[in-house]
Chains A and B, each alone.
Chain A
Amino acid sequence: MVGQGRPACGRTATLAAAFVLAALPASLAAQETADCLACHGERGFTTVRKGRTVSLYVPEKAYTASIHGSLACISCHTDVEGMEGGHEAPLKKVDCAACHEAETKQHAASLHGKAMKRGDSLAPTCAACHGIHDIRAAKDPASPVSPLKVPFTCGKCHQEGTVVMRQRNIHQDHILENYSESIHGEGLLKKGLIVAANCASCHTAHNILSHTDPASSIARGNIARTCTACHAQIEVVHRKVIKGELWEKEAHVLPACIDCHQPHRVRKVFYTQGMADADCLKCHQEKALRAKDGRTLFVDEREHQASRHAKVACSQCHSGVNVSFRRPCESITTKVDCGACHTEIAQQYARSQHGKLLLDGDPNAPSCKECHGTHGTLGRLQGSSPTFATNIPRLCARCHREGEKAAVRYKGPEHGIIEAYTESIHGKGLLKSGLTVTATCTGCHTAHGVLPRTDPASSVNRANVPETCGRCHHGIQEQFQQSVHYEMLGKTDKQLPVCDDCHSAHTIRRADADGFKLDIMQKCGRCHGEIARTYFDTYHGKVSQLGYTKTAKCYDCHGAHDIQKITDPRSHLSRQNVVATCQKCHPGATRRFAGYLSHATHHDPGKYPWLFWTFWGMTGLLVGTFVISGTHTLLWLPRALKMRRELREAEEAEQRELEKHEWAHPASPAGADRGASGPTPGGPGPEGRG
């Protein structure tokens, strides 16, 4: 009956023991529980040990109600076996390990077990927590190890005033008190949520170890795992960049749960930052505080409170603090790693030119704080942040202005970048019109992935420029990507233009400004040299060359971003579209009108024989006329000079004559004013006098 009557026990060890017991000889079955209770069932059954009266009473009711109630006494008190009709000697201590081997082993290795081994009289045994004959299942609310009871069970020793707390080295204080006020304690004790964490949830039941023991559930490296047992996806709600994996694998770089949420004080309100920060500020609010090398260690808490990280505790960035030290920061060995939270950005930065320089130990390399500051770091949408759109040019200019440390090492073609940008359409939009959506330095170069143009991964690499510009100018990008300049990529050896070849990089002007409109023809002409030259031989070209934008320029006919070969049906100059294109400026234009040669040259007899021969015909006429008339004139010149001389001489002769005449007849009215020698006409003389 003994063998068969036991209820099934969940534990493997128990089960194994049950089979052993079942195989015992029949004689054993003779010792019934009733036999034992015959004596031990009596309330007054006592004995005297070491001069003290000790009760040997086993309350039958409690025993039968216990989880072991269906077991015979000898199942645990194995040394009673064979002692017919009572026993004299005291029984050995019951060894729970016979059934609960794993738990016992864990316990033996735990702080409690080690203390017991040392002979510490305060060390808890199995019975200290679980009871003796009245042991209940942990699920049983009446059990001292049921979730609701655990804090009290542990609290028997671990609360203020106990011998354990007074005499043993326990780091925490007011444990039970703090716990009962924490969100866990409140949930459990006041709301009866038995899923709320109790002592054993974090410390385990049997495997209780010091937090310094790497195997401990509360060791720094294991805390995340311990907490996430319940708070399964806490990293999601905490901070998207903290990956649970990293939290567990690289606990040293990341703040552990308890860095913010102090053990036993886990509040339901968000952790009061001021509490922990106040500890740090005890020293660091001193303005005079300096490191050995003279750096100031003063932290302006007001600045921090106004910053983006106001809700972030000191220890979240300055990780590695150890609260066990009087100066918890003593244990800090590494610099602040922003990448702990801003992982993706840090990875991008590490690949960037700035990051590479930093890795190479270049003293000029900007780290996070060069741009973002330290304790006062602000979000890029806050107007006073150096990374706010309108401040970015000034920020980058600190190094990239001509003559500054980044500009002097730059060997490329872009110079006066900051000044040029300021005058550009983007710069004016940003700085004069205050349009924060305008492209800033980072708009094109990215904030953290800055790379030289030559790097294929750079946002301003030729191959990536359309996409970079297209982030704002998306419609244009779509057009451009259907143009011959894009579709021919990979089909030609020639370098195809991207946005900045026509628009420039830092001197971008409004496309509807005259300067740009005129300049663009030079830009087209850089590749399409011949066609641009012949354009300038036409009316359109000549007017453009004079500096006016009203006549057709390259893009007026060919389109700008959607430019196509004229043989392409999509082209503005394809057979279907050309007349409509001419009609934009010449209403009423016909197909014949479109036959105008807008790139005609009179130097190509094969292609344009009419123009060629007309030009040479006209030139022949011109040269011929000038040669003939020029010769005529040159031949005339010496005769004409001779004539002039003769005229002069005759004039002088007449003058002399006249003077003589006047001297002789001073009153004579002279008709000499004719001014020419030779015979004067008869009649008019006298009438001519005034």
Chain B
Amino acid sequence: MEGGVTGRAFQFQRFTRLNRALHVLLIVSFIALAVTGMSLKFSYTSWAAFLSRRLGGFESAGFIHRAAATLMFGLFVTHLWDVNRQRKREHGGSLLKLLLGPDSMLFNRRDLRELVATLKWFVGAGPRPRYGRWTYWEKFDYFAVFWGIFVIGSTGLMLWFPVFFTRLLPGWLINVATIIHSDEALLATGFIFTVHFFNTHLRPEKFPMDTVVFTGRMPVAEFKRDKPAEFEALVASGKLEENLVEPYQPVVIRTIRGFAWTALTIGTLMVLWIVYAMVFAYR
């Protein structure tokens, strides 16, 4: 089914090299943060103690956690820089065009229409909507990261430097920050490892995984099926060919799949572990 593997047909390039690199780093840092953080949050399970030992002890785990946080913050800043660069290159420096253009990540009326249409399609009251460059759930995932970095990052800094922050803030805010940090992290991991995994990988027509975010390219037919509106717009503007590239060599694909499978497995295991910790071992 994946064209690139066996043939040499051109594929549609959906993500830039930087986008893909950032997503890989995001996965690495996110999993590192999740594993080290959850081992503390669910410290009452034997799994947590085991993981903590494997990671070299709580201090080592703490170091990994902070290093991963720094990495994630770094790639977040890089992404903002990249978006700003896009603003200059593609939108003539106009912030407004960047934010309100057809490829904008911001929610707009079209997303609301597509959401309603999607719900109708779900219940069999209409056809599958003709999605464009970004679907509303993709936008949701995207801003979830923004939100998460803001909420978890800021509370995380408080927990990292409590002495500094309590020069200004009362000590009990550290307790509040702990709850927010921990529960928001639970939400983030839970969401990414279930909903995001389903939306992008596990949903039957993509099963077992969609590697587009790693390869950056997808078969044109699949692209046309997934995002008909964008396809048609590209064809109409004649820009489709600009975005066609050769598929990767099989060995690259295999490597990418290996990495993706690892991330997918760790995420799934973590979900199982969280469910176990919350449901069966909760105290």
Interface residues of A (CB under 8 A from B): 533, 536, 538-539, 541-543, 545-548, 550-551, 586-590, 592-597, 600, 602, 608, 610-611, 614-615, 618-619, 621-622, 625-626, 629-630, 632-633, 635-641, 643-644, 647, 651, 671, 673-681, 683-685, 687-690
Contact = CB atoms under 8 A, between A and B. Distances in A.
B171 A635 contact: no
Given A622-B190, A644-B207, A600 B221 contact: no
Contacts of A644: 204-205, 207
A652 to B, nearest CB: 12
A671 B128 CA distance: 28
Contacts of B114: none
Contact of A595 (B172, B178, B199, B283): B172
A681 B223 CA distance: 11
Given A539-B159, A550-B58, A596-B166, A674 B9 contact: yes
B241 to A, nearest CB: 5
A611 B175 contact: yes
Nearest to A633: B198
B150 interface: no
Interface in B180-218: 180, 183-184, 186-187, 190-191, 194-195, 198-199, 203-205, 207
B166 A593 contact: yes
B163 A619 contact: no
14 contacts: A536-B283, A596-B172, A597-B172, A622-B186, A639-B128, A640-B203, A644-B205, A647-B205, A651-B1, A674-B219, A675-B2, A676-B224, A684-B244, A689-B8
Which applies to chain A's interface (DSSP): helix, strand, loop or mixed? helix
Interface string B53-79: 100011100000000000000000000
Chain B CB within 10 Å — which of A533, A550, A586, A632 has the most? Answer: A632
Given A547-B49, A588-B163, 7 more contacts: A543-B43, A550-B58, A621-B184, A633-B194, A675-B1, A681-B235, A688-B246
Interface in B1-58: 1-3, 6-10, 39-41, 43-44, 48-49, 52-53, 57-58
Contact of A625 (B52, B187, B198): B187
B179 interface: yes
A681 B220 contact: yes
B137 interface: yes
B174 interface: yes
B75 to A, nearest CB: 24
Interface in B257-275: none
A611 B168 CA distance: 19
Interface residues of B, number: 68
A479 B49 CA distance: 35
A599 to B, nearest CB: 10
| 10 shortest interchain CB distances as A-B pairs | A595-B171, A676-B221, A673-B7, A690-B8, A618-B183, A596-B171, A635-B122, A593-B166, A684-B10, A644-B204
A688 B57 contact: no
A578 to B, nearest CB: 11
B119 interface: yes
A546 B163 contact: no
Contact of A676 (B1, B10, B246): B1
Contact of B3 (A551, A592, A674): A674
A610 B172 contact: yes
A637 B168 CA distance: 50
A640 B220 contact: no
Contacts of A590: 163, 166-167
Chain B CB within 10 Å — which of A614, A626, A629, A677 has the most? Answer: A629
Contact of B166 (A541, A592, A689): A592
A678 to B, nearest CB: 6
Contact of B204 (A593, A602, A640): A640
A363 to B, nearest CB: 51
A441 B258 CA distance: 63
B175 A677 contact: no
A637 to B, nearest CB: 8
A353 B130 CA distance: 93
Nearest to A593: B166
B205 A547 contact: no
B139 interface: no
B199 A633 contact: yes
Given A593-B171, A596-B162, A546 B190 contact: no
Chain A CB within 10 Å — which of B41, B59, B203 has the most? Answer: B203
Contacts of A685: 9
Given A597-B172, A618-B184, A640-B204, A536 B44 contact: yes
Contacts of B187: 618, 621-622, 625-626
A428 B148 CA distance: 54
Given A546-B58, A639-B121, A629 B191 contact: yes
A635 B123 contact: yes
B4 to A, nearest CB: 9
A678 B6 contact: no
Given A600-B172, A615-B183, A625-B187, A548 B40 contact: no
B10 A687 contact: yes
B167 A671 contact: no
Contact of B191 (A546, A625, A687): A625
Nearest to A624: B187
Chain A CB within 10 Å — which of B122, B179, B224 has the most? Answer: B179
B225 interface: yes
Contacts of A587: 163
A641 B220 contact: no
A687 B179 CA distance: 57
